[in-house]
């Protein structure tokens, strides 16, 4: 029997967290029909602090600390996260044992009912757009300077209710993957689910390792290496996007000032063949950016990590650190 945890308690649970956990457990049940899985809902710091922007809280483990505490005490054996909620450096003793196939990683604009049919470009001057992400706000501020951007927190149901029932927001920005998982296609990390486990629990690592989607794994290693090297987090506007095509991993990364007026973007690529899963993985401590994938060849994993680091270094050498330092200072000051 294995226990699985997801963020959010039963009283205020996001349906999305449960849907994501259910999807992982359903796959595991198919693979291991003799095992019984118990789902335990939990609440995290990030779920409880809803009146403060994520970038202002200053806690790197907002959506993970309580879940990792349960893992450490053997109250659960695995935890399902949106991968974007997991820091690029995990606490000692924990690892991401599986990265599931990524869904649509794009953002979606959801409009207030009175603005249905509009676009961000055609919204009235000084319309307020809600987002919990500095990265989204900076990118959109640069392209749509006539709009204002304000933090909006809460689960998907809460954010959509604030949009529909109040007059504060003309539109909000949400992840397409979340809307699709909820079945709200008509309203349309970022996209990938990670399963966190105890790093030394080989039985559980073997159990969840079959969930690894090799292409998504390599893309996420590259993306997390890029973010880690830039020290990107909730307090700075940093973005990265990857795509795999014909044996090439393409990666575009960028940094922005808080208001989007200053930006720097670059693209790199590397030859990386997506491997099939196999049984002869590395025998030493195989973690890369907090991810363990013993059933995936080491070479492509290292190549993906190197691509992320190389792109980060390219931006840093061109002055990205100055943009990020000013963004941090301004964010801390407000």
Assign 294 to helix, strand or coil.
coil
Cα–Cα dist 237/259, whole Å: 10
Whether 2 is covered by a domain: the verdict is: no
Residues 298 and 249 in one domain: yes
Residues 22 and 169 in one domain: no
Assign 332 to helix, strand or coil.
helix
Residues 82 and 206 in one domain: yes
Of 182 and 321, which is predicted with more confidence? 321
Residues 68 and 153 in one domain: no
Q: Which residues pair with 17 in a beta bridge?
A: none
Cα–Cα dist 254/233, whole Å: 13
Residues 171 and 42 in one domain: no
Give the pLDDT confidence of 296-308 residue by residue, as tens digits.
999 999 999 999 9
Give the pLDDT confidence of 215-269 residue by residue, as tens digits.
999 999 999 999 999 987 677 899 999 999 999 999 999 999 988 999 999 999 9
Using the 8-state DSSP alphabet, how is residue 48 labeled? H
In the chain, the number of structural domains is 3
Q: How far is CA 22 from CA 5, 41, 197, in A?
A: 10, 11, 17
Residues 241 and 296 in one domain: yes
Whether 4 is covered by a domain: the verdict is: no
Whether 6 is covered by a domain: the verdict is: no
What integer best gives the mean pLDDT of the chain? 85
Residues 67 and 197 in one domain: yes
Residues 285 and 147 in one domain: no
Write out the catalytic residue numbers. 85
Give the pLDDT confidence of 63-102 residue by residue, as tens digits.
677 888 889 999 999 999 888 878 888 999 999 999 999 8
Residues 57 and 201 in one domain: yes
Residues 174 and 207 in one domain: no
φ/ψ region of 243 (left if φ > 0, alpha if ψ in -120 to 50, else beta) reads beta
pLDDT at 71: 92
Q: How far is CA 65 from CA 85, 113, 234, in A?
A: 11, 37, 16
Cα–Cα dist 124/288, whole Å: 46
Residues 18 and 80 in one domain: yes
Give the pLDDT confidence of 108-118 residue by residue, as tens digits.
999 999 998 89
Phi/psi at 75 (nearest 5 deg)? -75, -30
- The DSSP line for 153-196 is -S-HHHHHHHHHH-SS-SEEEEEHHHHHHHT-GGG--TT-EEEE
Whether 121 is covered by a domain: the verdict is: yes
Of 202 and 184, which is predicted with more confidence? 202
Q: Which domain holds residue 15?
A: 11-100+192-211
Whether 5 is covered by a domain: the verdict is: no
State the pairing for strand pair 248-256/238-245.
Answer: antiparallel
Asked if residues 251 and 311 have their Cβ atoms less than 8 Å apart, the reply is: yes
Whether 40 is covered by a domain: the verdict is: yes
φ/ψ region of 245 (left if φ > 0, alpha if ψ in -120 to 50, else beta) reads beta
Question: For the chain, percent helix, then strand, then coil, each to nearest 5?
Answer: 40, 20, 40
Q: How far is CA 112 from CA 171, 207, 298, in A?
A: 5, 44, 48
Whether 259 is covered by a domain: the verdict is: yes
| Model-wide pTM > 0.85 | no
- Return the CATH number at 133: 3.40.190.10
Assign 89 to helix, strand or coil.
coil
Assign 149 to helix, strand or coil.
strand
Whether 294 is covered by a domain: the verdict is: yes
Q: Which residues pair with 175 in a beta bridge?
A: 107
Q: For every residue of 191-250, which 3-state class applies, written as one string? A: CCEEEEEECCCHHHHHHHHCCCCHHHHHHHHHHHHHHHHHCCCCCCCEEEEEEEECCEEE
Residues 76 and 197 in one domain: yes
- Return the CATH number at 217: 3.30.160.40
Please determine, for residue 1, whether its predicted confidence score (pLDDT) is greater than 50.
Answer: no
Question: Quick one: which of 225, 229, 234 has its CA closest to 270?
Answer: 225
């Amino acid at each position: 029997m294995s226990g699985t945890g997801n963020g959010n308690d039963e009283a205020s649970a996001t349906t999305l967290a449960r849907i994501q956990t259910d999807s992982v457990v359903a796959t595991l049940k198919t693979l291991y029909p003799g095992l019984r899985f118990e789902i335990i809902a939990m609440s995290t710091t990030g779920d409880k602090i809803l009146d403060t922007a994520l970038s202002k809280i200053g806690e790197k483990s907002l959506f993970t600390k309580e879940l990792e505490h349960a893992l450490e005490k053997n109250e659960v054996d695995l935890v399902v996260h949106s991968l974007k909620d997991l820091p690029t450096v995990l606490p000692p003793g924990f690892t991401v044992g599986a990265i599931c196939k990524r869904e649509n990683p794009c953002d979606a604009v959801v409009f207030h009912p009175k603005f249905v049919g509009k676009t961000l470009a055609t919204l009235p001057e000084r319309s307020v757009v809600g987002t919990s992400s500095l990265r989204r706000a900076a990118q959109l501020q640069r392209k749509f300077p006539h709009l204002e951007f304000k933090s909006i927190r809460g689960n998907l149901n809460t954010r959509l209710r604030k949009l529909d029932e109040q007059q504060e927001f003309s539109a909000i920005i949400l992840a397409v993957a979340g809307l699709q998982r909820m079945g709200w296609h008509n309203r349309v990390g970022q996209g990938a689910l990670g399963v966190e486990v105890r790093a030394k629990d080989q039985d559980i690592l073997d159990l969840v390792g079959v969930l690894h989607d090799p292409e998504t794994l390599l893309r996420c290693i590259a993306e997390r290496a890029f973010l880690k090297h830039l020290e990107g987090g909730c307090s700075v506007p940093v973005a990265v996007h990857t795509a795999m095509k014909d044996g090439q991993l393409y990666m575009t990364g960028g940094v922005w000032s808080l208001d989007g007026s200053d930006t720097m973007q670059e693209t790199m690529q590397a030859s990386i063949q997506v491997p099939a899963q196999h049984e002869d993985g590395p025998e030493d401590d195989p973690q890369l950016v907090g991810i363990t994938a013993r059933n995936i060849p080491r070479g492509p994993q290292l190549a993906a990590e190197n691509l992320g680091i190389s792109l980060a270094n390219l931006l840093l050498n061109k002055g990205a650190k100055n943009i990020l330092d000013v963004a941090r200072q301004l964010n801390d000051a407000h």
